[in-house]
Structure 1
């Protein structure tokens, strides 16, 4: 995922024991941005009977630092997930040279 030339968002849908139910690309964009529709992610949580999710998206620019939009959209998705009793485990930003956990960075 880190070597892709466009931004992509994938969601890992997990059961209550954190076992993977489904790993799915939910959006692809341009080199500099990707648009995610939160309601589509949450609808699939219900469809897959997922208890938890992990989000990952890449930065083709190789800059692992989250943008203000990354932080805001992650907070919105985390809150919406909480309202549906779906655990938002983490959001990873992946580059060709590494990754950043937004939870470990204190951004969740």
Structure 2
């Protein structure tokens, strides 16, 4: 499934400034791994999938622009679907990417 290549080109330098980054094509789009952990994904459904901490999740919800990621009918406690409109500005994109990267920097490297 294709992903938004323009959005990926905007995300790439934001993630790369945080150290070792690996890009992987996944079923959900183009994933950006930092220190072996998935931090953010340019979704094949549009927008981003962003890793968050469970305690922060509910405060970040802003339907319809930011919703829990759902897989097989179950909502994730640590992943959000961020609609394209919510990352249209560079400032908003920087904030969302930084949030996902910050979460993985709190995890032990793989």
TM-score by length of 2: 0.28
TM-score by length of 1: 0.28
